[in-house]
Amino acid sequence: MMGARVDCLRLGLFLIVVTVCWSDVVYSYSRPPARKTIFVPHSSDADSDTTPQQVHISQVGQDKMRISWITDSSSTPATVKYGTSSGSYGFSATGTTSSYRYLLYKSGEIHDVVIGPLNPNTLYYYLLGDSPQEYNFKTPPSRLPIKFAVSGDLGQTDWTKSTLQHIGQSNYDMLLLPGDLSYADTVQSSWDSFGRLVEPLASQRPWMVTQGNHEVEKIPLFHRTPFTAYNARWRMPFEDSRSDSNLYYSFDVAAVHVIMLGSYTDFDSDSAQYKWLQSDLSKVDKGKTPWIVVLIHAPWYNSNTAHQGEVESYEMKAAMEDLLYRARVDLVFAGHVHAYERFTQVYKDKADNCGPVHITIGDGGNREGLATKYEDPKPEISIFREASFGHGILDVVNETHALWTWHRNDDNEPIASDSVWLTSLSSIPACKL
């Protein structure tokens, strides 16, 4: 059923919030009430404007980690002291400090420091700037098994809190996020709130993210540059994979090659992203990384009535599906649709034993609520679909087998609502390239 959808953008200017709306003809759907948006203030014991906040870490290369944090004042160095026992920091590294402006907002001081080389699967303790507050993180393992938590469209509501709590209990090694982080939607203080909300998890394990439509934050006339806050706050290791943009990159972890794509930047066959992807895939050594996992925001396969017919879905799929298929990509994670859906292995809309499994995991918990309506009858290639908030765990146990489980927030972490064993395409003789 076609219907008009109204999109709104809240523009925060001083104390006035201007709401700009426009309508779009898309397939209609109604959502159950979302939980309220929460705002995480600067902690009360943060009496100094040099107190670190919004700490998050991300993997750089094989054995380094980028530590990112924000302070109100610039009178604190972008220095990280670290070591493998609490209270003792034998190593130190210095990085860069930056800030950005958005309308009348000026960000805090954003510090980025790359530390390493680090040992795999090791707990590190670290200090930021001149703050005495000790943080810690664990590096991912260099070999299988490895456990990824996967969650898209997080936002910052009580549902998000519940999702984060479940992820925190999962003993994961690294988080993969297929876009839509803060739902700040131009209100920049919401990015700060989001940074504080995720810090307890994101300061302890690498969070590897790609961007969604909520990260664009472009306003005609007023702020023409897209992804300003996202690029400044969530810098990812794109140079290491020879990408020229923070919007797409790849990295290896344990025996998995992870590719992050940008659904809201150019993807057609003469775009920089397409050429980069082609070159990146041609360099994958399946002997070293028998698994390939790709993240996008707008799903290429989707039988929910939400977000049908969007160019970021069908045009990107038309442009890039062949590349992924011919490289024998094992899994494609998407967000955008606020529900869970798992497809079988597919290629060009048909089941294909050498195609990737497509999974929509946009059910992290944002304020827009769930997308509850599905196309009826269910397409044969859709195996499991449910509109509940939750998160996924990809447990890559060895070169041939991985266990994927989806956990609803309503259940305890150990209870999986959907679960499937996957076999790597590199181990299937009929799919040999």
Residues at the interface with Fe ion (CB under 5 A): 180, 212-213, 336
Of the candidate spans 57-65, 164-172, 230-238, 394-402, the one that interacts with ligand NAG by CB under 6 A turns out to be 394-402
Q: Does 397 bind ligand NAG (CB under 6 A)?
A: yes
Of the candidate spans 77-85, 233-241, 293-301, 393-401, the one that interacts with ligand NAG by CB under 6 A turns out to be 393-401
Q: Does 398 bind ligand NAG (CB under 6 A)?
A: yes
Q: With CB cut-offs between 5 and 8 Å by kind, which of ligand NAG, Fe ion, none does residue 73 bind?
A: none
Q: With CB cut-offs between 5 and 8 Å by kind, which of ligand NAG, Fe ion, none does residue 400 bind?
A: ligand NAG
Q: With CB cut-offs between 5 and 8 Å by kind, which of ligand NAG, Fe ion, none does residue 397 bind?
A: ligand NAG
Q: Residue type at 422?
A: L
Minimum CB distance to ligand NAG smaller for 279 or for 398:
398
Give 93's contacts (C-beta < 8 A, 6+ positions apart).
79, 80, 82, 113, 114, 115, 116
Minimum CB distance to ligand NAG smaller for 310 or for 395:
395
Minimum CB distance to ligand NAG smaller for 265 or for 400:
400
Catalytic site residue from 56, 214, 297, 307? 307
Q: With CB cut-offs between 5 and 8 Å by kind, which of ligand NAG, Fe ion, none does residue 398 bind?
A: ligand NAG
Minimum CB distance to ligand NAG smaller for 290 or for 355:
290
Residue nearest to Fe ion (CB): 336
Residue from 401, 416, 420, 423 in contact with ligand NAG (CB under 6 A): 401
Task: Give me the least distance between CB of 425 and ligand NAG, in Å please.
Answer: 15
Question: Residue 102 has which token pair?
Answer: 């958005």
Q: Does 75 bind ligand NAG (CB under 6 A)?
A: no
Residue from 48, 204, 372, 400 in contact with ligand NAG (CB under 6 A): 400
Residue 307 annotated to the active site: yes
Task: Give me the least distance between CB of 400 and ligand NAG, in Å please.
Answer: 5
Distance set, CA 170 to CA 148, 362, 394 (Å): 9, 19, 11
Q: Does 74 bind ligand NAG (CB under 6 A)?
A: no
Query: Site residues (CB under 6 A) for ligand NAG?
Result: 397-398, 400-401
Catalytic residues: 307
